[in-house]
């Protein structure tokens, strides 16, 4: 399930605020598989250059929803749907589900029409600048601008333009799996101090702004990268046939649903 290789599409939207849903026996047709989990304060930084393109296993099954994790088998599988799930100790806090459109590997907007499901708990906090849940639009993968690289971003955030200015890094795109100093097309880094796992939505371009808000402590020592509160873990689930995901209050497992 390398983010450079997933395919497919759709545009039904179901946006809602949700209370708790402790459905332990979720029985919708279709299976969801956990491909990745991001914990921005576990001492391991899943930046642009770590894990995403190589698909190498990271972490353990026992801690799959508590620490950084990548399932190498799931990462290789084709998928039609993706769910990005913010969770608190394994309990769903907020979720967006998208259907992929046809795509080629590379820097691309990979969905169209926005999420087909958006469910957020009534008591969910830190929504004003969350990299996934504070802004709308579609998912973009591998968003590269000169030496800036971002694995997953929302198109209605501060997104670097498609046509970039040579040798200019705006350091103002924010999302999941980030680096401000990488040779992004070859998945290597120029300077490790600018790696960071999760950054919040903010208008803070370089060099005017030197107070860029990160989630947690999993980032390099670059002077402008500032540690901040952890809004939750972010889990990435994929499916070939499940178009809806359990709602807030559901306790996550690495595999959810049932075969059709």
CA distance 194 to 148: 9
pLDDT attached to residue 106? 76
> The whole model's pTM is what?
0.89
Q: Which of 255, 246, 256 is nearest to 97 (CA)?
A: 246
Q: For tokens 């830190």, name the residue.
A: 126
The full set of domain ranges for the chain reads 15-258
pLDDT tens per residue across span 113-151? 999 999 999 999 999 999 999 999 999 999 988 889 999
Q: Over the chain, what is the mean pLDDT? A: 87
Please choose, from the candidates 234, 31, 42, the residue with its C-alpha nearest in 3D space to the C-alpha of residue 152: 234
29 band by pLDDT with thresholds 50, 70 and 90: confident
């Amino acid at each position: 399930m390398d983010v450079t290789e997933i395919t497919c599409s759709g545009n039904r939207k179901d946006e809602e605020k949700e209370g708790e849903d402790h459905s332990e026996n979720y029985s919708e047709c279709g299976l969801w598989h956990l491909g990745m989990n991001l914990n921005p304060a576990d001492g391991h930084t899943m930046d642009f250059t770590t894990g995403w393109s190589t698909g190498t296993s990271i972490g353990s099954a026992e801690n799959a929803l508590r620490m950084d994790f990548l399932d190498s088998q799931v990462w290789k599988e084709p998928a039609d749907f993706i769910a990005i799930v913010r969770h608190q100790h394994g309990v769903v806090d907020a979720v967006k589900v998208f259907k992929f459109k046809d795509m080629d590997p590379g820097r691309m907007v990979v969905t169209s029409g926005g999420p087909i499901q958006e469910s957020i708990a009534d008591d969910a906090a830190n929504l004003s600048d969350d990299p996934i849940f504070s802004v709308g639009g579609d998912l973009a993968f591998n968003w590269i601008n000169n030496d800036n690289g971002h694995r997953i971003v929302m198109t209605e955030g501060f997104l670097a333009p498609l046509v970039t200015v040579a040798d200019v890094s705006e350091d103002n795109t924010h999302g999941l799996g980030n680096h401000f100093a990488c040779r992004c097309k070859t998945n290597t880094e120029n300077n490790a101090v600018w790696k960071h796992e999760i950054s919040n939505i903010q208008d803070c371009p370089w060099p005017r702004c030197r107070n860029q808000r990160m989630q947690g402590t999993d980032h390099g020592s670059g002077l402008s990268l500032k540690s901040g509160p952890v809004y939750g873990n972010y889990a990435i689930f994929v499916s070939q046939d499940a178009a809806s995901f359990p709602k807030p209050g559901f306790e996550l497992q690495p595999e959810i649903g049932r075969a059709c």
